[in-house]
Amino acid sequence: MLKIVRELAVDNPWVLKIIMGVIALTFVITMGWWGIKAPQQNVLASVNGHDVNAQDYRKAYTRAVAYYREVYKDKFDAEMLEKMKVRDKVLEDLINRELWIEEAERFGVRVSDEELRDGIMKMKEFHKDGRFDRTYYERLLKLNRVSVGEFEEARRKELMIDKVKEVIKDSVAVADEDVNEAFPLNPSGGKDVGTGLKPIPAERPADEMQKLKKFLQFQKQEKAVMAYTTAMRAKAKVNINKELL
């Protein structure tokens, strides 16, 4: 399975970008990039009338640099930072987040206090000895200069976004034929029926079919979410104050 993932990462580099994007987004949520709102004059971007302020951007950018430095260790330098276009990616993530929040509100998506509590309690970042620790949770947020109220409001919005994305993902179906088209069977494994035609392909084992189907579905789901994001971005009214970048 790992071999397949590696091959797909080479043939379809956007797959790796998706995975890295998901990891980065998780880091955003758990480490509290969203901070206290800055004054109006520090508005970096306007997204359909909603503000993205420069303070949020600077915090996000600093966290992103720290994250990639931790991932790539000594290989990470100014040249890699420039090639990865981290500044642009951070800004686009903030803009897209506002669009997803707006979409969730348009659909009337809500996250109850119970859902919020359960979601936070499942986050491994706040576990000690295998279970959620309220004191550790509050201390970790304090160390990152984020209040409990700020974090929980941001987390509520992320859960709203997750609900909308799940609707999109649930619309994606993958059949056995899709798997066989994406991962062709090796005809050499079939039987020669003596007709001079190509050997009949061997039947794919059920467990392998299930694994490949899940992997392909993950690909298609993430691609559908990306396409939806692109469509929202194309219709959005976005104004950027590049002087604050």
pLDDT in tens, 193-215: 454 555 555 678 899 999 999 99
* Residue 28: pLDDT band with limits 50, 70, 90: very low
In CATH, what class is 2-185+200-244?
mainly alpha
Prediction pTM value: 0.73
What is residue 184's predicted lDDT score, i.e. its pLDDT?
87
Give the per-residue pLDDT at 187.
Answer: 57
- For residue 24, the model assigns a pLDDT of 43
Q: What is the pLDDT of residues 99-127, one digit of tens each?
A: 999 999 999 999 999 999 999 999 999 99
- Map the chain to HEC letters: CHHHHHHHHHHCHHHHHHHHHHHHHHHHHHHCCCCCCCCHHHEEEEECCEEEEHHHHHHHHHHHHHHHHHHHHHHCCHHHHHHCCHHHHHHHHHHHHHHHHHHHHHCCCCCCHHHHHHHHHCCHHHEECCEECHHHHHHHHHHCCCCHHHHHHHHHHHHHHHHHHHHHHHCCCCCHHHHHHHCCCCHHHCECCCCCCCCECCCCCHHHHHHHHHHHHHHHHHHHHHHHHHHHHHHCCEEECHHHC
Residue 41 — very low, low, confident or very high, per pLDDT cuts 50/70/90? low
**Domain extent listing, the chain:** 2-185+200-244
